[in-house]
Amino acid sequence: MPRFVRSLPPTAVIIAIGALVGVSFTLSKYVAIAGITPQVALFWQLLVASLVLITIAVATGKRPSLRRRYLFYYLGAGILGISGPALIGYTVLSHVSTGFYSALVTLSPLFTFAITALVEKRMLPAYRLIGILIGLVGISFATHSGFELSGVAPRWIAIALAGPLLLAMGNVFRSRAYPSDGNPMALAAGTLGLQLILIGLPVLASSHIAPGSMSGLGPIAALFGIGLITALSYVLTFEVQRRTDGVGFAQVGYFATLFGIGFGALAFGEPIRLTLIVALAVLFLGLALTNGHIRLAHFRRLPPKTQAEAPLKVTRFQSSAEENKDADHQ
């Protein structure tokens, strides 16, 4: 991992990951509408990403560990954070817009909070529950008013919802199972390499994996680009995960949504309606409340004049232990 990346604050890395994910959604839709099957698309994505990362890992002496607990980590992180969401994305993006799928991904932080509460067997603070409810209102408004979904079968919307759910499960898994002595480059290489084996074996048994079977050079270039983005984004993912928890990392959903909608509008001419902007504003309000960037108790304590003059307070990332302390004091 370059020194300048390690010196960046987690927020800067999270914004970069969100931008990469937004580009990846756009390229994935291009691959999907080209008629390439999800399994074949994922195989080439993993092949490119794995070759890049394993080559770098070996050259830098950061080889993936093959100890049992590492293999378990590679398996869980790969299925929940890579293969599952990617297969869902390739499947649904030929039926729904890039902007709509990007908006659904914003549910990942909300799901992450809820799953964290279940796993840690503790109740969420009231402000986070309110934020989750507001976020669900926002995404419902976006679904029914912000996008043209009249020709989309309900099953594709239901399948698309599984994407952010798997991403949220991956956030919690990586945070709780992260090896204390793990290296981000080695973890990313091991995770992608194992997924390549699991996905590649059944694909290799078929007769439809050669690039020549794809329609033109455009989809091949898109798959190559997705593979490079996957390699870079997952190295950054494990670097951020090393410094924060699943709740903090879940904020990638903010920026993946914004960049995904923007790139989708530029690449495919997908309209950005006023109702969508309103829905996203409601959604981000819910996320800000859930993540503690806006505290209802803070505004209740301030007189009206002070509220108007109070500067915006930006909170830093908190660990699960710190969140529990904050919840106890509220």
Total number of domains in the chain: 1
> Looking up tokens 């080695």, which residue turns up?
186
Closest CA to 224 of 46, 81, 22: 46
Residue 122 lies in a domain: yes
- Residue 169 maps to a domain: yes
Q: Which of 123, 102, 100 is nearest to 113 (CA)?
A: 123
Residue 30 CB partners (closer than 8 Å, separation 6+): 218, 219, 222, 267
User: Which amino acid is it at 38?
Assistant: P
pLDDT along the chain (330 residues), means of 10: 67 84 88 86 92 91 91 94 92 84 79 84 73 72 62 85 91 88 88 93 75 66 92 85 66 76 80 74 74 63 48 41 43
CA separation for the pair 189, 204 (Å, rounded): 21
pTM: 0.73
- Is-contact 289 134, C-beta < 8 A? yes
Between CA 106 and CA 110, with CA 108 as vertex, the angle to 5 degrees is: 90
pLDDT, residue 304, reads 53
Q: What is the pLDDT of residue 289?
A: 74
Residue 103 is assigned to a structural domain of this protein:
yes
What pLDDT score does 122 carry?
75
* Tokens 């989708």, located at residue: 264
Q: Evaluate whether residue 309 is within a structural domain.
A: no
Torsion angle (degrees, nearest 10) of CA 166, 151, 282, 111: -10
Hey, what are 144's tokens? Answer: 């029914």
301 occurs within a structural domain: no
> Is there a contact between 284 and 50 (Cβ–Cβ < 8 Å)?
no
Report yes or no on 296 lying in a domain: no
SS3 readout for the chain: CCHHHHHCCHHHHHHHHHHHHHHHHHHHHHHHHCCCCHHHHHHHHHHHHHHHHHHHHHHCCCCCCCCHHHHHHHHHHHHHHHHHHHHHHHHHCCCCCHHHHHHHHCHHHHHHHHHHHHHCCCCCCHHHHHHHHHHHHHHHHHHHHHCCCCCCCHHHHHHHHHHHHHHHHHHHHHHHHCCCCCCHHHHHHHHHHHHHHHHHHHHHCCCCCCHHHCCCHHHHHHHHHHHHHHHHHHHHHHHHHHHCCHHHHCCHHHHHHHHHHHHHHHHHCCCCCHHHHHHHHHHHHHHHHHCCCCCHHHHHHCCHHHHHHCCCCCCCCCCHHHHHHHHHHC
Quick check: is 304 in a domain? no
Give domain status of residue 261, yes or no: yes
Whole domain around residue 40: which residue ranges? 3-129+150-272
C-beta of residue 21 within 8 angstroms of C-beta of residue 82 = no
